[in-house]
Amino acid sequence: MLPIRVLVVDDSVVVRRVVCDALASSAEVEIAGTAASGAIALAKIPQLNPDVITLDIEMPGLDGIQTLVEIRKRYPKLPVIMFSTLTERGAAITLEALSLGASDYATKPANSTSLAGAIEQVQQELIAKIVCLGRRTTITGSPQASVMPRRVLGGQRIDIVAIGTSTGGPNALAALIPGLPADFPIPVVLVQHMPPVFTRLLADRLNTLSPLEVHEGEAGKILEPGHVWIAPGGHHMTVARRGKDAVLSKNDDPPENSCRPAVDVLFRSVAQVYGPNVLAVVLTGMGSDGLRGSEWIRENGGDVVAQDEATSVVWGMPGAVVTAGLASEIYPIGTMAKEIITRVTDSRPANEKRAVARINT
């Protein structure tokens, strides 16, 4: 199999060297070339024909956002991984880049990191993402929900929606969460693989788009209808029972599936607290985080649905759940909110069924 050709774009010669040295350790990756500016990158793309681009955000002349917009005009399917600093500004610009079509992102090593440490961090951050995005073939179609084996549900009410996502997740969540009505009768908890700062800004962004109130998760908060809670970067988020209430908790236990927060951790806790009254939703993402948690949810009588391949940036996480036979249905992201509302509404007493009519108006 041919190696994945990467164009490294960064105005810093030091960063270009670190990235190139890091990627050289992988037999699956080949450096197609480097560029010190957005303009140079745009000129080199047709010459080098890269499979993936790593793109610095803050550059003189054409910055990363402007370069990304131009790449998307000329090469709409070319994977672009933004390379940003782990700062408030870097996180905000990265989220903007993702909304404009960036495939994924990685964070730069801190200035205090040694050269060897910086190379190791870039290896851990970038190589798997480059390989995953570079190997992704064009999707010509994906199984629809009707072809999946439908589990016969026991008529149990749904009291919580738990969502897990990674690569491509911010845009998937921006399509899903605003589609849930302000009177959505149950809480939503979710894990999006992101570092600190990023998750808070993601919550703020979704809050401006959504009728629901979207927050970064805080320990001790009672789960209430009409609220969405996003696991804070760097911490696992769980649900626990406190008297008659379900409350959020967080911990710094070791990463699972190389992730903290991890979807499996949240899903396990939700299954333990809510038993059969759970609807889990697995969206686009690299890897298989959420697979074991989905097993817990199914074993405890809850239900699991997954995003389809055609609308996923990476079908790793939902694909793992579907392949394992754990998803009762798969849906494109454009209809996911409607399907969730229908399932939740249909599971409740007649006097609580308010949402279905609303979504059809």
β-bridge pairing 236-242 and 245-251:
antiparallel
- Please tell me which residue in 289, 294, 328, 347 is annotated as part of the active site: 289
List, in order, residues 6 or more apart from 307 with CB less than 8 Å away: 172, 281, 282, 283, 284, 315, 318, 330, 331, 332, 333, 336
Catalytic residue flag (residue 289): yes
139 dihedral zone (left: phi>0; alpha: psi -120 to 50; beta): beta
Task: Copy the structure tokens of residue 145.
Answer: 């929900």
Please report, to the nearest 10 degrees, the dihedral formed by the alpha carbons of residues 22, 26, 31, 32 taken in order. Answer: -160
Give residues with Cβ within 8 angstroms of 320, minimum separation 6: 287, 288, 290, 291
**CB 119 within 8 Å of CB 22:** yes
Alpha helices in 225-354 (DSSP H): 263-274, 291-299, 316-323, 333-346
Which one-letter amino acid corresponds to residue 229?
W
Q: Which position among 166, 294, 328, 347 bears the catalytic label?
A: 166
**Region of residue 303 (phi > 0: left; psi between -120 and 50: alpha; otherwise: beta):** beta
The residue from 104, 193, 210, 264 that is catalytic is: 193
Active site residue 347: no
Active site residue 264: no
Q: How far is CA 265 from CA 34, 45, 147, 190, in A?
A: 39, 41, 30, 11
Catalytic residues, by residue number, are: 166, 193, 289
